[in-house]
Amino acid sequence: MGKLDLSTAANRDDGYIPASASLYSGISRHDFPEDFLWGIATSAAQIEGAAFEDGKGLEIWDVFSRIPGRTFGGQTPDLACDYYHKYPEQLAMMKELGFNSHRFSFSWARIIPDGTGPVNQKGLDFYRRAVDKMLELGLTPNATLYHWDLPQGLEDRGGFLNRDVVNWYGEYATLLFETFKNEIPLWVTFNEPIATYVGYALGAFAPGRRLEKFGRQANHNLLLAHGEGVRRFRDVFGEKKPYDLSHANIGIVVDIWHHHPARPDNPDDVRIAELENEKAYRSYLNPVFKGCYTDALLKYMEETGSMPEIRPGDMESICEPLDFFGLNCYNRVVDSAEPSAVKEEIEFRGGNYMDNGQEFYPEAIYDALHNLRDNYFTDIPVIITENGTFNCGETPVPDENGYMRVHDTTRIRYLHGFLTCLKKAIDDGFDVRGYNVWTLLDNFEWPAAYSYKFGLVKTEPGAPGENPYVKKDSAFWFKRFLE
């Protein structure tokens, strides 16, 4: 398949309707609030590329991806989707598909190469150009300060194991708040903190450390940095106000993959699922919204020798009031002491597996919203900050006119299912203000590198030269949905 075919296919959009579109209809954007935000979510390390250009410093993923065996095929984020150079056309594509918001992240090392010290003006100028382009296109900027890409210079000083990270992060946050004070209405302190735990406790993510105590200490210091970021935000923007896009708002993004026992009447299955929930999303939601770790988590950390250093006043520092909450929701997890019971439970529900082997469980988004409202808060709105799926029949095939198409029907089914459940939640009174699909382009998916394809649009990230875009059937479906 040559570049000419792909390029030609990318220009054949007018009037194309996927054959699967009629199978997944029945809802549209008009079933949601008029001022609802419809966004595309991305992150700097996954799309920007230009890893060594214009003064950018090393990030932990630049280093980690070069350790043999840590990423698929040894692939790196060096080039990724080349958003650094191609952001105008990629942002224009979001607008053309009908989206009205863009969730992105700043690269700390592009702005402050060593994490502290001199500011790289070329890095700040890049983000100024990108944000200006978003505003020009009518895309509401939704900015994340930290999306897993710590400057390597700070990791060399202990990273999130060093309590000084709280002030390092605070200074970085203040710089961005002051620089973009009048342009960005939505700010996120941290995206999915559990990735930091995985990088320090399990070694699967950067920086690749492997000790439970490291993971728990990194978690605690990250939460302290989150609280510091919220305080710095109030210093710049003033006292807390009700959520409104006419002024700046701040939140945090946590992913909820709720663990269900395969056999609710089996004590072992229940115990496993509950412990996994305690170790994962509850280890962030409880401190952020209740100012404490749960008794179950404290007991686990005591028994495993992984209790972090917790100083007087820490929990109060973490528990700063937020303006909104960002929910990343992809699926649920089913746990059992007997692995065969997991398959039996899913098949009991109808055997809803997707092309990638994962369960199709769109109710996960409704369950997560119930969980948040019933157990954590009722007074701040929620934005769905990520939702999507991967590897759904990604091979281009020619249509009757010879133009290449990507028939990712399973992705359409997934998106339709989750949006249907989201509509039900809103109809039931849940205060949800926006939804972001992950993501626009196939990009660098961490250890899976370029082998996991999450994009609505096909490209060949990580390869030099021109890589034309081919809108998948899911992109055309979403465009019709948003029309």
Biggest CA–CA distance in the chain, Å, is 69
Position 11 scores a pLDDT of 40
Position 3 scores a pLDDT of 34
Render pLDDT for 90-114 as a digit per residue (tens, 0 to 9).
999 999 999 999 999 999 999 999 9
Q: Which of 228, 320, 359, 386 is catalytic?
A: 386
Between CA 54 and CA 373 the distance in angstroms is: 45
Render pLDDT for 371-380 as a digit per residue (tens, 0 to 9).
999 999 989 9
Q: Is residue 316 a contact partner of residue 291, using CB atoms and an 8 Å limit?
A: yes
Count of domains forming the chain: 1
* Per-residue 3-state assignment (H helix, E strand, C coil) for 34-81: CCCEEEEECCHHHHCCCCCCCCCCCEHHHHHCCCCCCCHHHCCCCCCC
Q: Per-residue confidence at 462, pLDDT binned at 50, 70, 90?
A: confident
Between CA 385 and CA 186 the distance in angstroms is: 11
Give the pLDDT mean for 337-355.
79
Give the pLDDT mean for 118-142.
98
Domain that holds residue 339: 3-482
Render pLDDT for 190-206 as a digit per residue (tens, 0 to 9).
999 999 999 999 999 99
H or E, element range at 191: strand 186-191
Q: Per-residue confidence at 400, pLDDT binned at 50, 70, 90?
A: confident
Give the pLDDT mean for 38-67.
98
Q: Label residue 31 exposed, middle or buried (CB < 10 Å: 0-12, 13-18, 19+).
A: middle
At 34, list the tokens. Answer: 């008029």
- Residue 136 annotated to the active site: no
128 forms beta bridges with none
- Residue 445 annotated to the active site: no
Position 349 scores a pLDDT of 63
Residue 374 sits at φ, ψ, to 5 deg, of: -75, -30
DSSP 154: H
Between CA 398 and CA 409 the distance in angstroms is: 16
Position 200 scores a pLDDT of 98
Position 10 scores a pLDDT of 46
Q: Give the contacts of 66 (CB within 8 A, at least 6 positions apart).
A: 74, 76
Q: Which of 48, 59, 155, 192 is catalytic?
A: 192
Instruction: Please tell me the least confidently modeled range out of 5-14, 366-375, 403-412, 440-449.
Output: 5-14
Render pLDDT for 2-49 as a digit per residue (tens, 0 to 9).
333 444 444 466 679 899 998 899 999 999 999 999 999 999 999 999
Q: Per-residue confidence at 468, pLDDT binned at 50, 70, 90?
A: confident
CATH number at residue 347: 3.20.20.80
Mean residue pLDDT across the chain: 94
Give the pLDDT mean for 460-473.
85
Position 15 scores a pLDDT of 79
At 326, list the tokens. Answer: 């960002």
